[in-house]
Structure 1
Amino acid sequence: MVEDVDVMVRRGDVEIAVDDRGGDGPVVVLLHGLAGSSREFLPTADALMDSFRVLLIDQRGHGGSTRRPADVSRAAYVDDVVAVVEEVVPGQRVSLVGQSMGAHTAMLTAAARPDLVDRLVMLEGIAAGDDRPEEARKIGQYFASWPVPFADEVAAREFLGDGPLAVAWCNDLERAADGLRPRFDADVMEATIAAVQEDRWTEWEQLEPPTLAVFAEHGMFTREQEDELIRRRPQTRRAVIAGGSHDAHLDAFDGWIEVLRGGLS
């Protein structure tokens, strides 16, 4: 059994933090969503380690990876994942699992390097673009509105709330000399999500690895958007997590693990 170890993969002027959780069996790589980090997938990793070796990646601009990368293009995110796989588990094919922006990264990685990817599981991710640039600005403005540094965890929870995503954000704050701060910057998040808004149907339709598209009952996307994803690639399996939100890996955990295990088997 591979033991838990922290790894830093360097690509030019960017460092990508990887938590190799260990475990036995085929390799699964977990990719978090925008403004998150690998920490929110620790319970998922623990649930898989009886059957898989699990790698958790902090994508650039997030968590323990380089906070302010010059390049936040989709290609840069994809190349980071490729570099991690080739350095940490050389010669092995992996299963890619991602949520939201992480699902988008996973999908593009599988399209670019099918030789490295055995299967793909996307939680609340689609390939359609978004022609509303104001949506990226709104996200950036929201993160910029956080009154950081928070004096303490109580102050952070009072502002962010007590929902599952807010709890994950609070748990991911880092302690600085002047208080608690998020491990990401608002302008980097805005630029990152703006890049995700580009239409990626070509890559989606050309995907080779077996793919499971997972949506939540109360997720971000309409049924029409979900149906369009499947229509454009009919061999895609679809699953719906009852009661879950866009962050179903946090607020519908048991259902998520059940669906995920089915997608990885």
Structure 2
Amino acid sequence: MTSFSALPWSERLVHRDGVRLSCRDWGSPAGSGDEKAAGDPRTPGGPIDVLLLHGLAGHAGEWDDTARLLRDSGFRVVALDQRGHGLSERQPADGDVSRAAYVADAVAVIDRLGLDRPVLVGQSLGGSTALLTAAAHPGLLRALVLVEAGPGGTDPGVQEQIASWLRAWPVPFPTRAAAVAYLGGGTDAVGEGWARGLEERADGLWPRFDPEVMVRSLDDSTRRSFWDEWAAVRCPVLAVLGRGGHGGIIGGAEYAEMARRLPALRGTSLPGTGHDVHLERPGLLHRLVVDFLEGDVR
């Protein structure tokens, strides 16, 4: 196993209301002079901060390729293991996995790690967190990037589908190769991304989440949509949609309504990709984000 000291990122812990949140802090580009500690003021004109939020049953390590590229392009980058996921609190002490709890966690990380008006990038469930954070805290963010995420609600039947899928995982996986093959569904890049989040134990590789917690995390999304919150977003927004592959979840009708309600929305779809765009095409996603920030935000 790789030691923390050999990794290109450092772990940063944030505690909020008794819940431990683990972050991968990739820092700023070498030589930028802006390797600031938590709580330090921003250096005017320094690197733009980026906070990355993974999807349901995911982990901060899914963003490793994208995070490295963004840091090397001049950004200060942090990826959060959201509550119930990865190295963060697996069973939140308060039992709260509401959308509001996820948003409060993101705000706490921004505050405690001294992120100055960051760009919030979220995929799937992380995109929902990002959207609701932007709506609830105008002025907190510089920009918003939604990867396979939107304000539409989720069919209640999706919870049972996800529960069945998670419970069907043949854990423990005996080898990393077996995990990659199963989780990737034929796409090695996706399988590798999911497998990076597994915990190595004596008897094999196990998920770092509880299926029941994952299912409850969708409760709010099955009860209602978030179109009012979408209309409240004031920062620039980029939406990246998968088209093909394992299948994107944002349909044409939902995107058209997103654009109608937020005319300044910048969006793009990537043919041949699915829901895990960030794993399938990290280089292309990186370029889309950089072009968006340089063209619409700076």
* TM-score class, shorter: over 0.9
Tell whether 2:191 aligns with 1:166: yes
Deviation at 1:112, TM superposition (A): 1.1
TM-score, with normalisation over the residues of structure 2?
0.83
Distance in 2 between residues matched to 1:176 and 1:196, nearest whole Å? 34
Give the Cα–Cα distance (whole angstroms) in 1 for the partners of residues 141 and 107 of structure 2. Answer: 10
Unpaired runs of at least 5, structure 2: 1-7, 30-46
What is the alpha-carbon distance in structure 1 between the residues aligned to residue 194 and residue 74 of structure 2?
29
CA distance in 2, matches of 1:137, 1:212: 31
1:254 is aligned, of 280, 283, 287, to 283
SS in 1 for 2:142: strand
The separation in 1 between residues aligned to 2:181 and 2:264, in whole angstroms, is 45
Query: In the alignment, which residue of structure 2 is the partner of 1:238?
Result: 267
Residue of structure 1 in register with 2:136 after alignment: 112
Work out whether residues 16 and 64 of structure 1, in 8 Å CA contact, stay in contact via their aligned partners in 2: yes
- Where has structure 1 moved over 4 Å in runs of 4 or more? none
* Aligned CA-pair RMSD: 1.7
8 Å contact kept, 2:180–2:194: no
**Which letter does structure 1 place at the counterpart of 2:165?**
Y
Aligned residue for 1:146, secondary structure, equals coil
How many residue pairs align between the two structures?
A: 261
Quick check: 1:61 aligned with 2:61? no
Amino acid at match of 2:167: A
Q: CA offset at residue 162 of structure 1?
A: 4.0
SS in 2 for 1:9: strand
Q: Cα deviation per residue 1:75-129 (whole Å; 9 max; x = unaligned)?
A: 0000000000100016x21110111111111011111112320111111111011
**Shift, 1:29, TM fit:** 0.5
Q: Deviations over 1:41-78 (max 9, x none)?
A: 01101111131000110001111100112100000000
Identity %: 40
Q: Distance in 1 between matches of 2:98 and 2:117?
A: 24
- Contact residue 190 and residue 276 of structure 2 kept, 8 A: yes
Aligned to 2:23: 18
Q: Residues of 1 paired with 2:112 and 2:14: CA distance? A: 8
1:77 corresponds in structure 2 to 102
Equivalent in the alignment of 1:38: 60
Report the AA paired with residue 42 of structure 1. Answer: D
Letter of the 1:224 counterpart? A
Say if 1:242 and 1:162 are closer, same or farther in 2 by CA, change over 3 A: closer
Unaligned residue ranges in structure 1 (runs of 5+): none
**AA matched with 1:227:** A
Cα distance change of structure 1 residues 234 and 18 upon mapping to structure 2, 3 Å threshold: same
Name the aligned partner's letter for residue 195 of structure 1.
D
**TM-score normalised per structure 1:** 0.93
